[in-house]
Structure 1
Amino acid sequence: MPKSVDHAERRAELARAVWRVVRRAGVDGASVRATAREAGWSAGTVQHYFSTQAEMLVFAMEAISTESARRLDAIEADADLDAQAAVLAAVEFLAPLEPDARVAAELWVAFLARVVVDDRIRAVHARDAAALAGECSKLVGTLVRPVDEATVELEAARLHALLDGLTIAAVTEPERMPPERVRQVLRHHVASLVATGGGHDAAPA
């Protein structure tokens, strides 16, 4: 390896290599050696950063979460979108509709079986679940006007559960829940939130 190495960029390259391997071969196929081949590195170089597959997959998940948060902030800051359109754009982004979101969803579903036995994966899952819960509260709060805390809390929990359920169905039953069906369900749900909030500050669906 060169003496001067940007380790943050190297780790980002590895995360992208993991995503590509998962997209092609699934989570079980994302071994250290397979990732090294994908990145064009030696297995030893990859092991310099990650000694186990679990450690590598956790980092890939964390990298996806960081990138997702950045892109979600950009969506929510788009001044050209009205309230309903902004919420719909955000929830569609959170669903497994695009290739990167699909990889993130596959990793998440694969991790669910390990949450009860792996403390590090449990911590990542808990942090991401808390972040999504907060995001759902914020999104619901923009549509339910005037704000009623009890209603927002209940509707945020419902949106969170809907996103989790759609993600699992889209990954495990893609024939029953293809992207177009996921979009249809999400649009219907966002329209119901507008109705719950009385339609204030939101354009018709």
Structure 2
Amino acid sequence: MPRIVDHEERRRELATSVWSIIRTDGIEAVTIRALAERSGWSSGAVRHYLPTREAILEFAAGQVAAEARRFIESRPVTGDAVQDFRTALLATLPLTADTRAYLETWLAFVGAAVTGQGPAQKALLYDDLHSFLVETLTGFAADGRLATGSVGAVAISLHALLDGLAVHLLLHQITGREAEDAVDRWLAGSLVVPDPVREPAS
């Protein structure tokens, strides 16, 4: 019986190897040959899935976004909208070994995009998180829980905060606790937390 090949799983394996090259040697070191050596595949097998260097980089950036989304969605849900939003925001920061791996790769792609070397990756690395923030904040605004500003403006400020905290954590300039405190201050100043429902006095 012929062996069933999980092509998506094989592509994920390749993405992990690309991330490894980027994290250890830099984005400029990514080539088909380097990926073949790092993954243990033949160059022909790599080309079957990712035929060019540009395809490798675009796929690896897309996988960063996909894995980050998967990690966020895997966080436990309590039913408390603010608490669940907090959990999701913290999941975007390099506070675990997995998220540090994603974000070290993300930072390399950001540097390449800034210098014009990776324009195809810009939307992949920005749009996913921004759309999530806008969607969630729109829900809070509809419930009257957004303290101030338009959804768009608040999403931009929050996205900038998360990006800044991520870089500071990757550079070991702040601790995880300090990053969590910064997120909590933002939530306290930007969202209206309703008073608990109290039973009428007898």
Do they superpose with TM above 0.5?
yes
Is the aligned partner of 1:16 residue 2:13? no
Cα deviation, residue 92, structure 1: 0.5
2:65·2:124 contact (CA, 8 Å) conserved in 1?
Answer: no
Q: Deviations 1:178-198 (Å, cap 9, x if unpaired)?
A: 33322221122222223xx2x
Partner of 1:93: 91
| Structure 2 counterpart of 1:188, from 185, 189, 193 | 185
2:68·2:102 contact (CA, 8 Å) conserved in 1?
Answer: no
Is the aligned partner of 1:129 residue 2:126? yes
- AA in 2 matched with 1:180: R
- AA in 2 matched with 1:14: L
Cα deviation, residue 26, structure 1: 4.8
1:22·1:103 contact (CA, 8 Å) conserved in 2?
Answer: no
Q: Identify if the C-alpha distance between structure 1 residues 83 and 5 changes in structure 2 by more than 3 Å, giving closer, same or farther.
A: closer
Q: Deviations 1:163-189 (Å, cap 9, x if unpaired)?
A: 122223333x22x12333222211222
Partner of 1:36: 36
Q: Identify if the C-alpha distance between structure 1 residues 117 and 153 changes in structure 2 by more than 3 Å, giving closer, same or farther.
A: closer
Root mean square deviation of aligned Cα? 3.1
Structure 2 length as normaliser, TM-score?
0.75
Structure 1 length as normaliser, TM-score?
0.74
Partner of 1:112: 110
Is the aligned partner of 1:46 residue 2:46? yes
Q: Identify if the C-alpha distance between structure 1 residues 127 and 26 changes in structure 2 by more than 3 Å, giving closer, same or farther.
A: closer
- AA in 2 matched with 1:182: A
1:169·1:177 contact (CA, 8 Å) conserved in 2?
Answer: yes
Q: Identify if the C-alpha distance between structure 1 residues 117 and 201 changes in structure 2 by more than 3 Å, giving closer, same or farther.
A: farther
2:137·2:155 contact (CA, 8 Å) conserved in 1?
Answer: yes
**Rg (Cα) greater in structure:** 2
1:32·1:47 contact (CA, 8 Å) conserved in 2?
Answer: yes
2:22·2:108 contact (CA, 8 Å) conserved in 1?
Answer: no
Alpha-carbon distance between aligned partners in 2 of 1:7 and 1:17, rounded to the nearest angstrom: 15
Partner of 1:73: 73
**Structure-to-structure mapping, 1:150-165, within 5 angstroms:** 150-165=149-164
- AA in 1 matched with 2:107: V
Tell me which moved more, 21-30 or 59-68: 21-30
Ranges in structure 2 where 5+ consecutive residues have no aligned partner: 197-202
Alpha-carbon distance between aligned partners in 1 of 2:189 and 2:102, rounded to the nearest angstrom: 27
1:82·1:201 contact (CA, 8 Å) conserved in 2?
Answer: no
Tell me which moved more, 41-50 or 162-171: 41-50
Cα deviation, residue 63, structure 1: 1.5
Alpha-carbon distance between aligned partners in 2 of 1:32 and 1:184, rounded to the nearest angstrom: 43
- AA in 1 matched with 2:194: H
SS in 2 for 1:177: coil
Q: Deviations 1:119-140 (Å, cap 9, x if unpaired)?
A: xx32431244222222112333
Q: Identify if the C-alpha distance between structure 1 residues 201 and 27 changes in structure 2 by more than 3 Å, giving closer, same or farther.
A: farther
| Structure 2 counterpart of 1:200, from 190, 194, 199 | 194
Cα deviation, residue 93, structure 1: 0.8
Q: Identify if the C-alpha distance between structure 1 residues 100 and 31 changes in structure 2 by more than 3 Å, giving closer, same or farther.
A: farther
Percent of residue pairs bearing the same amino acid type? 29
